Structure 1
Amino acid sequence: MNTLIAIIIIFGLLVFIHEWGHLYFAKRAGILCREFAIGFGPKLFSFRRDETLYTIRLLPLGGFVRMAGEDPELIQIKPGYEIGLVFNRRNQVSEIIVNNKSKHPEAKIVTVERVDLEKDLFIEAYEDGELVSFPVHEKASIIYDEEPTQIAPLDRQFGSKTIPQRALAIFAGPMMNFVLAFLILTAFALLAGMPVDESRIGMVSPEGAAAEAELVENDRILAINGQPLETWEDLTSVIQKHPNQDLVFEVERNGQVFEAVVTPQERQGPTGEPEGFIGVGQSTTFTVLGSIKYGVTETYVFAKLIFEALGMLVTGQFSLDQLAGPVGIYNYTGQAAEMGILVLMKWAAILSVNLGIINLLPLPALDGGRLMFIGVEALRGKPIDPQKEGLVHFIGFALLMLLMLVVTWNDINKFFL
């Protein structure tokens, strides 16, 4: 249950901040955002605020912001349609009733001859045999099955905005994931302290070799077996190379220097080889500026590691079998949750950086693919045919879903079979 709660909170936060980035900068550009959704599939919960419908959907596989003009309008009004018109106080059409007109006795029933809901905003229709032109308000709604859909004049559509405005609206999602990672890591440093790169002991495990040798927090290790030490890496590298061997520590405590014999315990290292450890943590310090610097540095380090892993995947040094899908991430999140809130915070930051980078890859259906099409438009001086672009994104999305199924099957084999 703790794992499930951690997953819901972390992924909800990651997807929310990503989609909020799209929403905020799209609205700043004047784009009509019809829906802000967390998840895909059937709606579980929804509410409307201003022009946007906010929804939570059944399948927790991401989210989306539906911007006007990105997809063809689902509801079209054509000549010959009989519709109902509701007017505002300025005698402009404020509601267009497509069906169930009997539920709107206040509506004026007309037969459409010509309609323009994007540029000049009017409806020409026959009323009692006479052709009349009705002005349409720029925020009028089309009512279909009692569900309102606001019209989208050209100046409110995604494609009408400048290339920088559109690029920023798309890039803002991944950008917010990097910002979130930075904030999480900064908060981590404020709570746990920022590591100090010197050979000074931080937290001491009560069951470790350091505690047995009566070392305490803030002891500085000047040398081991006569080898001088300066940094934390100097200290750990010597200890890791001598499991189950007596080491003579030269220790400084409160201005006094003394010697202590420490015998590192043995454990399996990352490469499978045995390594020594004495049960101590790195010394930390608590400063606001230091924590901010730590947030920036660690975000960069995580991003660099992920890019290196992607490079290994492309060159074949990393196989699909080693990738973790939803099941693997669920399992690793559970392990992080069991290790405490601080470990979980770092894991959430890694996932946020990963989400930002993956979305920036120049692949169809991802933000990077959409940015690629905007870049091609900037180079050729005119947009690509929306139908062709839509087809490319559809195929890309299908291939991504196929990859997701393959990776998920690998996860199931690794963790459950």
Structure 2
Amino acid sequence: MTIVLFVLIFGVIVIGHELGHFLLAKVNGITVVDFSVGMGPKLLHFNKGGTEYSLRLFPIGGACMFEGEDGLDTDKGTPSEGAFPNASVWARISTVFAGPFFNFILAYILAMIVVGYTGSDRPVLNGLIDGYPAQEAGMQPGDLITRMNGERIYVAREIWLNTYVGAGETMNIEFLRDGEKHTVTLTPKYNEEEGRYLLGFNGYGEYVDCRNAGIFKYSYYEVRYSLRATIKSLGMLIQGKATKDDISGPIGVAQVIGEVREQAEPYGIWVVILNMINIALLLSVNLGVMNLLPLPALDGGRLVFLIIEAIRGKPVPPEKEGMVHFAGFVVLMILMVFVMFNDISRFFR
């Protein structure tokens, strides 16, 4: 069951990503030669309208390939009018950007399903821990937190995100009480039993029913939360605040899916489905962000070269761009092997 759920979740987010490339390519008159879900040997495939559609063995990726995309297939004959290099630079930019953008659109649709059924949570304090900074600063249950270190807070989980990322750092908290704005500065206190720094919040979150027009607003807040969590996690990784065990590849994700499924099963199949949709939401945002990083072989790396072309008025020589992307692809494969090995070793640990 875990494998089935893993395949379904990855299939949905990969199709959403590649569909973005595909649709914008069609709009811009670019010929799509291959649209595949998965990697490795083909399991199923067919041709229609000059495009080969295929389902491949390993459900950990996908591709939407355009005619002449790498700029190096001139030995195969004269490229047609619909070849990727023949499109305008802005048409190519929009086609490449559409993949990650569609991941955010997909995440918003998934968020609407989740909050439509489960509602959301306003960042309202439920209680305080005696002797900790929040209580000592005069905060009270019922206070609505609106900002932390200047960052707007919309849902309760953002309180956890900010305190986790900024562990031990002084925080400026802005909150509303009876409609009046207050500001306090809190320095977290280390808790030996918990093994972490605490501000002294003893629970937070006030249920919001989203079976009304509020679904649109709170669905945006859900996607925003996932986006901020992904970006802040990357920041922690760059700053050395995260370890290799905080990174997961497909095997680690599958393990999380299995654990969540086991915990949700006693509450019924619909709770399992909603949790899987929530995981797909986070992964879709994660895929969108990661693909926009300006790294070779990713959509963000291709966008860098296209933006340079738009500024210079002429493209970077295709052989040079191809070498950069190939080098980036090799590095990504090495990273994938490392993450997979780490996932397996962590599983046995």
Q: Which TM class, normalised by the smaller chain length? A: 0.7 to 0.9
Q: Which residue of 2 aligns with 1:215?
A: none
The answer to whether 1:188 aligns with 2:188 is no
Q: Secondary structure at the match of 2:39?
A: strand
- Give the C-alpha shift of residue 75 in structure 1: 7.2
In the aligned structure 2, how far is the partner of 1:272 from the partner of 1:337? Answer: 30
* 8 A Cα contact 2:103 2:284, kept in partner: yes
Q: Secondary structure at the match of 2:294?
A: coil
Q: Which residue of 2 aligns with 1:297?
A: 221
In the aligned structure 2, how far is the partner of 1:319 from the partner of 1:228? Answer: 36
Kindly indicate which of the two structures has a greater share of residues assigned to strand. 1
* 8 A Cα contact 1:31 1:67, kept in partner: yes
Residues 332 and 388 from structure 1, CA distance in 2 versus in 1: closer, same or farther, beyond 3 angstroms? Answer: same
Q: 359-368 or 35-44: which moved more?
A: 35-44
Q: Secondary structure at the match of 1:35?
A: strand
- Give the C-alpha shift of residue 196 in structure 1: 4.8
- Give the C-alpha shift of residue 343 in structure 1: 2.2
Q: Which residue of 1 aligns with 2:90?
A: 164
- Give the C-alpha shift of residue 305 in structure 1: 1.7
- Give the C-alpha shift of residue 228 in structure 1: 5.7
Residues 289 and 401 from structure 1, CA distance in 2 versus in 1: closer, same or farther, beyond 3 angstroms? Answer: same
- Give the C-alpha shift of residue 51 in structure 1: 2.1
* 8 A Cα contact 1:180 1:352, kept in partner: yes
> What amino acid sits opposite 1:173 in the alignment?
G
Q: How does 1:124-273 map to 2 (within 5 A)?
A: 152-153=79-80, 155-196=81-122, 229-231=141-143, 271=196
Which protein, 1 or 2, shows the higher relative CO under an 8 Å CA cutoff with sep ≥ 6?
Answer: 2
* 8 A Cα contact 2:18 2:35, kept in partner: yes
In the aligned structure 2, how far is the partner of 1:370 from the partner of 1:287? Answer: 41
- Give the C-alpha shift of residue 272 in structure 1: 9.1
Aligned pairs, number: 286
In the aligned structure 1, how far is the partner of 2:60 from the partner of 2:10? Answer: 9
Q: Secondary structure at the match of 2:258?
A: helix
C-alpha deviations, 1:294-326, integer Å up to 9, x for none? Answer: 111121121112111112222222233421112
Q: How does 1:386-401 map to 2 (within 5 A)?
A: 386-401=318-333
In the aligned structure 2, how far is the partner of 1:20 from the partner of 1:62? Answer: 13
- Give the C-alpha shift of residue 49 in structure 1: 2.1
Unmatched 5+ stretches in structure 2: 127-138, 146-155, 160-192, 265-271
**Superposition TM-score, scaled by structure 2 size:** 0.74
In the aligned structure 2, how far is the partner of 1:74 from the partner of 1:270? Answer: 61
In the aligned structure 2, how far is the partner of 1:276 from the partner of 1:160? Answer: 58
C-alpha deviations, 1:68-119, integer Å up to 9, x for none? Answer: 111344973xxxxxxxxxxxxxxxxxxxxxxxxxxxxxxxxxxxxxxxx63x
C-alpha deviations, 1:106-160, integer Å up to 9, x for none? Answer: xxxxxxxxxxx63xxxxxxxxxxxxxxxxxxxxxxxxxxxxxxxxx41x211111
- Give the C-alpha shift of residue 42 in structure 1: 1.6
Q: Which residue of 2 aligns with 1:404?
A: 336
* 8 A Cα contact 1:321 1:407, kept in partner: no
C-alpha deviations, 1:200-232, integer Å up to 9, x for none? Answer: 9xxxxxxxxxxxxxxxxxxxxxxxxxx963247
C-alpha deviations, 1:327-372, integer Å up to 9, x for none? Answer: 1111111122232222222211111110000010011110000001
In the aligned structure 2, how far is the partner of 1:415 from the partner of 1:384? Answer: 44
* 8 A Cα contact 1:182 1:299, kept in partner: yes
Q: How does 1:45-194 map to 2 (within 5 A)?
A: 45-71=44-70, 72-73=72-73, 76=76, 118=78, 152-153=79-80, 155-194=81-120
In the aligned structure 2, how far is the partner of 1:270 from the partner of 1:54? Answer: 52
In the aligned structure 2, how far is the partner of 1:170 from the partner of 1:270? Answer: 45
In the aligned structure 1, how far is the partner of 2:274 from the partner of 2:48? Answer: 36
Q: Which residue of 1 aligns with 2:258?
A: 334
- Give the C-alpha shift of residue 28 in structure 1: 0.6
In the aligned structure 2, how far is the partner of 1:272 from the partner of 1:378? Answer: 48
- Give the C-alpha shift of residue 288 in structure 1: 3.3
Unmatched 5+ stretches in structure 1: 77-116, 119-151, 201-226, 238-267
Q: Secondary structure at the match of 2:47?
A: strand
C-alpha deviations, 1:12-47, integer Å up to 9, x for none? Answer: 000001000000001110011011011122211012
Q: Which residue of 2 aligns with 1:380?
A: 312
Identity %: 37
- Give the C-alpha shift of residue 161 in structure 1: 1.2
Residues 337 and 19 from structure 1, CA distance in 2 versus in 1: closer, same or farther, beyond 3 angstroms? Answer: same
Residues 285 and 162 from structure 1, CA distance in 2 versus in 1: closer, same or farther, beyond 3 angstroms? Answer: same
**Superposition TM-score, scaled by structure 1 size:** 0.62
